[in-house]
Amino acid sequence: MNIGLLLLFLVFCQGSHASGLITNVTTRPDVLNIGSMFTFDSVIGKIAKLAITLAVEDVNSNPNILNGTKLSLKMHNTKSSDFLGIVEALQFMENDTVAIIGPQSSATAHVISHIANELQVPLLSFAATDPTLSPVQFPFFVRTTQSDLFQMTAVVDLVVHYQWRDVIAIYVDDDFGRNAIASLGDKLAEKRCKISYKVPLTPTATKDEIRKALISVSTMESRILILHIYTSWGLQVLEEAQEQKMMDSGYVWIATDWFSTILDTDPSLPLVQTNNIQGVLTLRMYTPDSQLKTEFKSRWSNLTRARRLLNNTSFGLNTYGLYAYDSVLLLAQAIESFFAIGWNISFSNDTNLRELSGGKLNLDALNIFNGGRQLLKSILEVNTTGLTGPIKFDADGNLLNPAFEVINVIGRGTRTIGYWSNSSGLNVLPPEKLQMKMQTNGSSAGTQKLYSVIWPGQTTEKPRGWVFPYNGRKLRIGVPHGVSYPEFVGIKGTDFSGYCIEVFQAALNELPYGVPYEYVPFGDGIKNPESNDLLHRVQIGEFDGVVGAITITTNRTKMVDFTQPYIESGLVVVAPIRKMDSSAWAFLRPFTPMMWGVTGVFFLVVGTVVWILERRTNEDFRGPPKRQFVTIVWFSFSTLFFSQKEQTGSTLGRFVVIIWLFVVLILNSSYTASLTSILTVEQLSSPVKGIESLVTGTEPIGYQRGTFAEAYLTDELNIHHSRLVALDSAEDYEKALKKGPSAGGVAAVIDKRAYMELFLSSRCGYSIVGQEFTKMGWGFAFARDSPLAIDMSTAILMLSENGNLQKIHDKWLMKSACSVEGAKQAVDRLHLKSFWGLFLLSGIACFLALLLYVLHMVRQYYRHADSDIECSQSTRRVKSFVSFVNKREQEVKSVKSSSKRRRTDRKSSNKKVHRQECSSDGLDES
């Protein structure tokens, strides 16, 4: 902006003064001045020059477009100079120009857009693709081609499609290159990818500068190269890449549309140049086929054929030429709309420049286009069809439905392997056909994204996308050299062995490529090194990776990238254990006291209920009170062994007994299983019950030096650091546990489960107590964003699926019987909460049986009681009912028969019924 304002005061030496403040032109003038500015001899410019000329001729020859008004076109050659571009823009403004087709350069567009804003003259650029040319900042800048924002989105979709993560960007170091690559970086970040290395080249890069830049690229890890440069020297980069052996297998070159522009402009490249571009992918702005486009191509071929005959020069038609033609067509239709609503062409002096009038610059010759805002509005509202397809702008000032072809250079020709559109991404179908198919078949439009590609090196196998940097150097893999558990990592001189080492080597063997590496021990072998120190060496580049028992934690993932865990190993507590003393009352252990009490009560309750239900009909439940009590107790507890001799005859009694026998069966089975476990399995006990008791206690706690356990215990569990004792080897663990807290040892040791299971495999006096209180795993560590971490994760999953991971585990970490036995915890006693449902079922059965029994007795009492006796008092009636219930069933039936005979006799003799009061039992007799 500063350059533009400065030049605004410096470039004019001559100018013509306006004759007044406002110059009015007729509503529809005969001639309108439009300008065009670009570099005539560039690959884009020479096509655009002819295309714009043809477009103006077509507009002027068609009276239906502007209804007789002619366009007067004046072209300026900027000669790739931003300075000349600014001067020429000011010259256009001096001559009452209503619009400018151009500029071609994004850098020039940034500067002269400030002039266009001031003088309100629309700029229609067919080649300035810088995505930062925003209509918010530059409202009079109208991009009539596709923004690089969409092109970079297409590049990112290509990278993601082939599952690459890192790319190297080679670009021209100006507004055109920097801003496009910035958009590329933003879009890559959205897909969790990144630009790992940027190579800016000056706009006038020399061959030597290009060579040095490519040499630096060849030492990088990534092999995905994004090339966004100028058409003027872009092929030199590929030529130099061929000399540096960077067009061989393993490399991927994705060139933006500058490359397809060269191919379209000069389809007959020399053989030497075509050999340098084999396997390159490039993008071309997609323009759908149409009758209008076909006719124009035929016309173009005739014109260029004539030129070739005249001056032996020929050039093809590129997409920028199509957009240049459509820019004129777009402008013409906007001007017609401008006139149609009644606007005039008029210019007025800029009051800001009037104050600077005088002197040699004659700045007051610059006029403001009074109808500029309305013409701009008409341009943005145009809805037509041109050579490039539908022409319509969205709310952000971009052409609708941006799309690109994906092209693969093969031999001396090219092949379209797919298309990209902003609405549907990558697909082998052109956007309009894909849209039609989706409308016909619903959402089913095919899943194939791209056709196969011939990559550099004439291979069809997708490149991995990265290599190990610094060719010839082996990866330095750090290995912790400590004193604990050689079964995991063992180092003897130059020999590295153990579970972790073998898993790492097996995973490397699963990779589809070779990995040169060497193990580097870290530590003195006397004490365990700090894992975080080892990972820090990876972070600073001293090591390329780490192999060992490295636990994956949140803080560590901020330092390095881990692979998929190859073993799960959280923290556990190990403490000394002792055998429980034998006891004469061991048979009581299966049930808790509450369980024993409730079971005993239910035995008595069920026995009592059955006695009530059976005593009227069953002689086994009758007799003296003492005998009946013994019968209740005997019947109740004899059901425990299903040996009761008393038979139940009533339906309700049998119902209660059946339910109770089912409960007894479950209780008996559970008791037997628990007692068997108690008597056959060695029971172990420890004063430490788990991590909870350690946290609340005050005893010292041991941990393995160098692991994350120390930070976890202090930071997460708030255990004071003074209670922690750092230990190194399994022998240190055993000594500290044997001493105990009172003799300078520890109450328990906290370490990873994998370590502790190995520790317990030969030490039966200790056991894991409580539960594993962290869920973590071990992984191999690599530098941040290393693609090897992803490939090794896939290899570990393959080892797990084919069973080789388990085989390696069994080879190094197979546990003995001692470990299994020592890890057992005491058998839980059986609690009432496990059986309350059974007791509830039995209780409900007893209650229902008693309720039905009482109702039956009441009904029978009123039906079968002696009808000659009535109760005069309620207490006597209750005594009578109790006496009735206490009778045998046969006695009730005989009383019933006697009463029936008496009633029959009374009816036959017609005797009067006299009421007689009974003083002994409270009954009145009639």
What's the N-to-C CA distance of the chain in angstroms? 130
What one-character-per-residue DSSP string does 514-575 give?
A: ---EEEEEES-SSSPPPHHHHHHHHHTTS-SEE-SS-B--HHHHTTSEE---SEE--EEEEE
pLDDT band at 645 (very low <50, low <70, confident <90, very high): low
Would you state the pLDDT for residue 100? Answer: 95
CATH 3.40.190.10: does it fit domain 475-569+777-814?
Answer: yes
pLDDT band at 859 (very low <50, low <70, confident <90, very high): confident
Mean pLDDT of 503-516: 91
User: Is pLDDT of 319 > 90?
Assistant: yes
What one-character-per-residue DSSP string does 120-183 give?
A: T--EEESS---TT--TTT-TTEEE-S--HHHHHHHHHHHHHHTT--EEEEEEESSHHHHHHHHH
Q: pLDDT for 185-198, tens place per residue?
A: 999 999 989 999 99
Would you state the pLDDT for residue 402? Answer: 95
pLDDT band at 349 (very low <50, low <70, confident <90, very high): confident
Q: CA torsion angle for 531, 535, 537, 538 (degrees, to 10)? A: 150
Would you state the pLDDT for residue 706? Answer: 83
| Nearest of 819, 834, 569, 518 to residue 707 by alpha carbon | 569
**DSSP summary character for residue 716:** I
Higher pLDDT, 754 or 352: 754
φ and ψ at 743, to 5 degrees?
-110, 20
Fold classification of 148-288+403-440 is Rossmann fold (3.40.50)
**What is the rounded CA–CA span in Å between residue 149 and residue 274?**
29
Mean pLDDT of 608-627: 68
Q: Which residues contact 733 (CB under 8 A, 6 or more apart)?
A: 574, 702, 727, 749, 751, 759
Would you state the pLDDT for residue 382? Answer: 95
User: Is pLDDT of 599 > 50?
Assistant: yes
**What is the rounded CA–CA span in Å between residue 737 and residue 16?**
102
Q: pLDDT for 153-186, tens place per residue?
A: 999 999 999 999 899 999 999 999 999 999 999 9
pLDDT band at 820 (very low <50, low <70, confident <90, very high): very low
User: Is pLDDT of 904 > 60?
Assistant: no
Mean pLDDT of 446-465: 88
Would you state the pLDDT for residue 179? Answer: 95
Would you state the pLDDT for residue 878? Answer: 61
Would you state the pLDDT for residue 449? Answer: 86
Whether the CB-CB separation of 769 and 825 falls below 8 Å is answered with yes
Mean pLDDT of 722-738: 91
Peptide bond before residue 103 is cis, with ω within 30 degrees of 0: yes
pLDDT band at 267 (very low <50, low <70, confident <90, very high): confident
User: Is pLDDT of 15 > 50?
Assistant: no
Tokens 């080879």, located at residue: 811
CATH 3.40.50.2300: does it fit domain 684-769?
Answer: no
Q: pLDDT for 46-85, tens place per residue?
A: 999 999 999 999 999 998 899 889 999 999 999 888 888 8
Lowest mean pLDDT among 386-390, 391-395, 831-835, 904-908: 904-908
**What is the rounded CA–CA span in Å between residue 710 and residue 160?**
41
Q: pLDDT for 282-294, tens place per residue?
A: 999 999 999 999 9
User: Is pLDDT of 901 > 60?
Assistant: no
Q: pLDDT for 667-693, tens place per residue?
A: 778 878 777 776 655 455 677 888 888
Query: What's this model's pTM, rounded to 2 decimal places?
Result: 0.68
Would you state the pLDDT for residue 24? Answer: 42
Domain 31-144+292-392 maps to which CATH number in 3.60.10.10, 1.10.287.70, 3.40.50.2300, 3.30.1280.10?
A: 3.40.50.2300
| Nearest of 561, 548, 532 to residue 790 by alpha carbon | 561
Higher pLDDT, 349 or 522: 522
Q: Which residues contact 760 (CB under 8 A, 6 or more apart)?
A: 574, 766, 767, 768, 815, 818, 819, 822, 823
Q: Is 857 left (phi over 0), alpha (psi -120 to 50) or beta?
A: alpha
Q: CA torsion angle for 843, 847, 852, 857 (degrees, to 10)? A: 130
Higher pLDDT, 364 or 226: 226
Mean pLDDT of 344-363: 69
Q: State the amino acid at position 657 in one-letter form.
A: V
For the record, the structure tokens of 365 come out as 């010759």
User: Is pLDDT of 798 > 80?
Assistant: yes
pLDDT band at 311 (very low <50, low <70, confident <90, very high): low
Would you state the pLDDT for residue 315? Answer: 79
**DSSP summary character for residue 829:** P
| Nearest of 164, 171, 118 to residue 141 by alpha carbon | 118
Summary mean pLDDT of the chain: 82
**DSSP summary character for residue 715:** I
pLDDT band at 875 (very low <50, low <70, confident <90, very high): low
Q: State the amino acid at position 9 in one-letter form.
A: F
User: Is pLDDT of 786 > 90?
Assistant: no
User: Is pLDDT of 821 > 80?
Assistant: no
Q: pLDDT for 195-253, tens place per residue?
A: 999 999 999 899 999 999 999 999 888 999 999 999 989 999 999 999 999 999 999 99
Q: Which residues contact 401 (CB under 8 A, 6 or more apart)?
A: 389, 390, 421, 422, 423, 431
